[in-house]
Structure 1
């Protein structure tokens, strides 16, 4: 979508928002469409406008727009589930505020689930889903989020605006279902009643605003509701609707929206790889007429479980092969009603269903629950993505609708009558999101399965209907501490805070830097104005890119060299001219040279040179695998006597998931070994003993967990032998070892930025590090600030010994910090594993940099402590060799007993302890 009709200033704003929020193409197109609509009809946002004339103008720009369907201009953006409608709302608000000065927004959610999700996404700056992350203006002046639960308490703040004393962006978030319940019987909703703070109703306050924009999430859910009619009386300047289903249901079938200006259906999302690829599953040569309704239900359930277990194995293997998080899949069973759901739960958890394998692993989710049972149901449902939560089967009737965002739903078994289109659109909407954020290229990881033996052809035909926006795929099956933390706090380095103005963010929205909330002010930005901040942030990213250019910038201090500064100036100028030209136009007000120089000085001042060291073997190399115990997870593969096939509803490609079994080998282990020896890195002659041991472990696992007959075991290993071998090979890779006659050390980065930290805390307070602790046992739950030389504004300590040592560093070091995971690539040996080592402290002194570990004296000679120390010393030696050759300081590793740490000690005395 082009921006030809949009003025240059707004075009630059669009590009900046698109880049800052990393918008996907359909999101970007939607944002541009909004800008084009306002550009083609400037009076869209005016208080007095001719609605009919406005409709005529916009219809000429958007042929799919024939009616606003409201008393005010309302535009619909139809984006497939999983593409990112919430982030798009954030982009809309950012653009309307920056380009058109809109400050007041009213966001409608269709239910409590989405209502709570929207509040978190719009208000929780620490959340990875925070919709304004990267928007510089909102980082400095955060939007105020007002909800249906707190608007009365925030009335006093709003009253100030009536006198024009503030111009913050305000985002009102309300639950339409609650408003609907409040207008039943002709009553006025609570928001229309008098407010003690405003002296008038909150509703009237909003309706009198001259810049109110209404955003409607999942708008198809409440288009004709009584609550929506009440909302219409707000008379907003503009309405923006977002939905994946741009039609309402009627007795005559679906009624399409008439105000859609962007339509990005599921077929496009699948084609572009933003969601899983849906597939319909059945048995080869299946005839549903041969089964009673009860028998058909049994077949679908059993095949669903078999498919679920096969998927679990594939996901487990993928995680091992790619060193990513393990995804626990679950199966969704759609019941006819609550009675049927209860019967299914009893059946699935019975001993007769796969020998009781799913006892305690299924939950019933519907309106039949109340009180404590309902609370337990919701908690289990919300935790279903966790690998530690046992639920593998969710049974529901009609509760799992929009807003329940999970990424690990892989198998759907519909047991409720529905037409093919409804079955497709409503069922798959819950399982389209990808667990790794993008497709992996592994079919089982990227596919959502719908087990529909009796509706297979009907669903395929509907998916191939030219009038259906879907293109699905077909799959065929053949016969400790009990106190919970009160908050999670994200902490960026002080350097980032100097540029962005915010180095501490709370998951609950609590402001740790507000006066009266913290004894110490956190870092304040050193750059003023939007333009200067943008130039500074661009400079920071360019400077940080030099970490990977050790030949040009072997240390951070090399960034001050004239040649490097000239290259940085050139790179910053190019990036700004390419992305945000307005900043260069303001160069008379902002000197690029001065900002770059100032930014560079800050980077050098706030950096301890941590080289990235890579050690590679050379000369004669030998290798092998350390014997280990096989990890089988919760695998529960089932024997089968039928072939399952899967057909893509996107490509119509048909694949076989399992083949008809046959008895091929005398030894069960041979079903696995035959596939293990196919891997190039496994030599049968050299590793025969190990691979047969692993194959035997696998066979024993299935022999022990279930009372399978010998025929059933042959059935399982014939059907899944290759996949089990793939899983074993992935785990063997973790136990790989090699020895070389020599090693070569290379430096891939001369210095690296500090990693972001995340802490949980039991107290919504930052304690001064110098304060005497009355209860030292609570120190692990506390956050500390008040630092002068620490490279983070906030730190967390595991013991009072660490807090005391931090005070010594505050007195004697030039700068220091506590590293977080990923900062150092140092690994030590722990049995058969190699684990990341994280020292307690790193500090730069006048003549060296020290890496410090404090330990209880009884642990000083522990094998693991010694292994960590050995790995750290090797790293320090390599870092010293590199840095001393390039004008840097040597590194030293120091292990200190906890009872040697006293505030009256100096750092010089610690070096001689080891």
Structure 2
């Protein structure tokens, strides 16, 4: 056959019928123009995950069929995307793409040996859409692959050989980047087919590939086609696994309420958000799944779904139905099986418990949550965002996609909360002449008795010239000492010396008013915020995309609670183990009194045994009580004491006795 001409008006018509988004229409247009020569060239389109590569595929099939192409082969990386692609071209299926003028005959490894298919293969009026995964094309040792290449009575030859013989074969490789690891065998299989054109669709092109069309994640966010990623972290620095999972579940419940409220107000069917947890390996995934079924998380049957390479068909079916309204699944725990092909719109929260160092893995995992639950931005932040609970380095998590994230984050990629307390520098010492200034870092001043005692020097920062000048001054100031006359006797005198020592400390020095006053600051529960930062993108007047980080509405994090009896024991232990007092019965009772009065100031009575305190409130209360005791210890009164200490004093040497001859 003569090859097809580029028809821009046909592309525009298809874009209107399929209601293609602008970037998808542009991608179809770029491919149609690039393959017009039909010389077997390979072209790649790079589009952000969540933009809608499915519609680009449908648009290309419609365009090729309208141009007279009757043999189109779609290659998928595995059965997950293969099944999804078949569903996209199956009328009546929930994922069927409507609007096409052509209804191709879908041919797979399961149905190609039927008589109806055999007849259609030789019918030039029927558009054939072959959907195979890459293993069925490049592994002759595989049973299915042998079937594809073996002679079939209805076809008259092997299916693979039939594809080699047709003159208008176009190959479309979905998730094109996956084939880079097996490029030699894949390219050989495609080359042997003699296709007129090969089109790759991907969100993460392999290194060295130069796409003919690109649409970045930044552009998708700026144009409102996907959710806005929100990085969630805790200012208190806690990042243990239990806290991360508890916070993620807490966020999911908040999102669920927001999604349902919006749907009810708009008269729409509710969509329930799902938590997506990525683990390091299969044992880790199973352990995390067991933790997530605890009573304080998602204990009901079917709420937590684990999907790995060892998952059953039942689990895979549950995964495929996770966005259905009657699905019980609220958490999906996986290793990496879901990197491609799991296209659902209801991922609300993502937790990465494995290292997401790979650029491809990071964006593919992030892509699971980018699709909008109601097909568009609705103006409600909790609905229009996907939360990434990154209690570790969120900068490292997002620094993997250069086009978006290097505009958002500083180049050093440091952690968010690396500020550490530093000694405050005092004013530089005055200098004279050409001496350099001296910078001194000191500790904080203390109050002892009625006096304010200056802080002690912690560190000096001095120039070399300043050190030398100080050395000269010290040399001049040294006193001239005379040596003791050799052999001179010493005499020992008692010398009365005065020494100021603090009195012995007692908890009884802390009065009730001071303890109550300190405890009053802890009358109310302390909330730990989950800080949410939205990574948004906007187009400027020059149509260039820039990204901004804006503060999203924060929510309260989860925390553990302890009983009042545990709290009393913790507070007592904090001051009793300080080492400031002798361990006597009187001091024990005094310590109990201090704790009792401190709690009274916080609104806890002696009879109160039912209330609970959050662990953050309890921890900070213990620190405050410890500081109260330490201040009392440091500021206790001083009293002079006297003691006699022996001092050896040289005496005038006695005249030596005359020697006798």
TM-score (norm 2): 0.61
Task: Tell me how far 1:172 sits from its aligned partner.
Answer: 1.1
Work out whether residues 281 and 647 of structure 1, in 8 Å CA contact, stay in contact via their aligned partners in 2: yes
In structure 2, C-alpha distance between the alignment counterparts of 1:297 and 1:422, rounded to whole Å? 24
Task: Tell me how far 1:377 sits from its aligned partner.
Answer: 1.4
Given the alignment of the two structures, is residue 238 of structure 1 paired with residue 238 of structure 2, yes or no? no
Given the alignment of the two structures, is residue 16 of structure 1 paired with residue 13 of structure 2, yes or no? yes
Given the alignment of the two structures, is residue 361 of structure 1 paired with residue 329 of structure 2, yes or no? no
In structure 1, C-alpha distance between the alignment counterparts of 2:277 and 2:557, rounded to whole Å? 26
2:554 is matched with which residue: 657, 662, 665? 657
Q: For 1:475-490, list aligned pairs within 5 A.
A: none
Task: Tell me how far 1:360 sits from its aligned partner.
Answer: 4.8
Given the alignment of the two structures, is residue 32 of structure 1 paired with residue 29 of structure 2, yes or no? yes
Residue aligning to 2:114: 153
Task: Tell me how far 1:233 sits from its aligned partner.
Answer: 0.9
In structure 1, C-alpha distance between the alignment counterparts of 2:163 and 2:99, rounded to whole Å? 29
Given the alignment of the two structures, is residue 340 of structure 1 paired with residue 295 of structure 2, yes or no? no
In structure 2, C-alpha distance between the alignment counterparts of 1:120 and 1:264, rounded to whole Å? 26
Residue aligning to 2:160: 203
Greater relative contact order, per chain length (Cα 8 Å cut-off, separation 6+): 2
Task: Tell me how far 1:197 sits from its aligned partner.
Answer: 2.0
Extract unaligned runs of 5+ from structure 1: 1-5, 50-71, 248-254, 289-295, 478-638, 662-707, 716-914
Work out whether residues 281 and 645 of structure 1, in 8 Å CA contact, stay in contact via their aligned partners in 2: yes
Task: Tell me how far 1:430 sits from its aligned partner.
Answer: 1.0
In structure 2, C-alpha distance between the alignment counterparts of 1:660 and 1:448, rounded to whole Å? 17
Residue aligning to 2:390: 452
In structure 1, C-alpha distance between the alignment counterparts of 2:390 and 2:115, rounded to whole Å? 51
Residue aligning to 1:107: 74
Cα deviation digits, residues 428-485 of structure 1 (max 9, x gap): 111111111111111100111111111223235556x5585896999x99xxxxxxxx
Cα deviation digits, residues 128-182 of structure 1 (max 9, x gap): 6433x3344x2xxx32221121112147644772xxx542211111121344554
Distance 1:397 1:73, change over 3 A: same
Work out whether residues 218 and 403 of structure 2, in 8 Å CA contact, stay in contact via their aligned partners in 1: no
Cα deviation digits, residues 743-788 of structure 1 (max 9, x gap): xxxxxxxxxxxxxxxxxxxxxxxxxxxxxxxxxxxxxxxxxxxxxx
Distance 1:461 1:196, change over 3 A: closer
Q: Determine which structure has the larger helix proportion and give its number.
A: 1
Work out whether residues 420 and 459 of structure 1, in 8 Å CA contact, stay in contact via their aligned partners in 2: no
Task: Tell me how far 1:286 sits from its aligned partner.
Answer: 2.1
Given the alignment of the two structures, is residue 76 of structure 1 paired with residue 44 of structure 2, yes or no? yes
Residue aligning to 2:542: none
Distance 1:11 1:368, change over 3 A: closer
Cα deviation digits, residues 60-113 of structure 1 (max 9, x gap): xxxxxxxxxxxx3111111112222122122112222323x2121111111111
Work out whether residues 106 and 215 of structure 1, in 8 Å CA contact, stay in contact via their aligned partners in 2: yes
In structure 2, C-alpha distance between the alignment counterparts of 1:640 and 1:256, rounded to whole Å? 52
Residue aligning to 1:646: 532
Aligned residues, how many? 439
SS class of match (1:31): helix
Work out whether residues 103 and 170 of structure 1, in 8 Å CA contact, stay in contact via their aligned partners in 2: yes
Residue aligning to 1:595: none
Residue aligning to 1:592: none
Cα deviation digits, residues 855-912 of structure 1 (max 9, x gap): xxxxxxxxxxxxxxxxxxxxxxxxxxxxxxxxxxxxxxxxxxxxxxxxxxxxxxxxxx
Task: Tell me how far 1:219 sits from its aligned partner.
Answer: 1.2
2:223 is matched with which residue: 268, 272, 281? 272
Residue aligning to 1:406: 344
In structure 1, C-alpha distance between the alignment counterparts of 2:30 and 2:145, rounded to whole Å? 36
Work out whether residues 347 and 369 of structure 2, in 8 Å CA contact, stay in contact via their aligned partners in 1: yes
1:143 is matched with which residue: 100, 104, 126? 104
Extract unaligned runs of 5+ from structure 2: 418-524, 537-547, 559-609, 618-661
Given the alignment of the two structures, is residue 327 of structure 1 paired with residue 271 of structure 2, yes or no? yes
Residue aligning to 2:179: 222
Work out whether residues 80 and 342 of structure 2, in 8 Å CA contact, stay in contact via their aligned partners in 1: yes
TM-score (norm 1): 0.45
Of 420-429 and 397-406, deviating more is 420-429
In structure 1, C-alpha distance between the alignment counterparts of 2:192 and 2:398, rounded to whole Å? 45
Residue aligning to 1:177: 135
In structure 2, C-alpha distance between the alignment counterparts of 1:200 and 1:460, rounded to whole Å? 51
Work out whether residues 277 and 432 of structure 1, in 8 Å CA contact, stay in contact via their aligned partners in 2: yes
Distance 1:642 1:431, change over 3 A: same
Q: Which of these two proteins has the greater Rg computed from alpha carbons?
A: 2
Task: Tell me how far 1:658 sits from its aligned partner.
Answer: 2.1
Task: Tell me how far 1:196 sits from its aligned partner.
Answer: 1.7
Given the alignment of the two structures, is residue 91 of structure 1 paired with residue 90 of structure 2, yes or no? no
Q: For 1:567-578, list aligned pairs within 5 A.
A: none
In structure 2, C-alpha distance between the alignment counterparts of 1:325 and 1:472, rounded to whole Å? 38
1:388 is matched with which residue: 318, 326, 331? 326
Task: Tell me how far 1:204 sits from its aligned partner.
Answer: 1.5
Distance 1:194 1:232, change over 3 A: same
In structure 1, C-alpha distance between the alignment counterparts of 2:282 and 2:112, rounded to whole Å? 37
Work out whether residues 642 and 659 of structure 1, in 8 Å CA contact, stay in contact via their aligned partners in 2: yes
Distance 1:173 1:154, change over 3 A: farther
SS class of match (1:646): strand
Residue aligning to 2:509: none
In structure 2, C-alpha distance between the alignment counterparts of 1:384 and 1:129, rounded to whole Å? 14
Cα RMSD of the aligned pairs, angstroms, is: 3.4
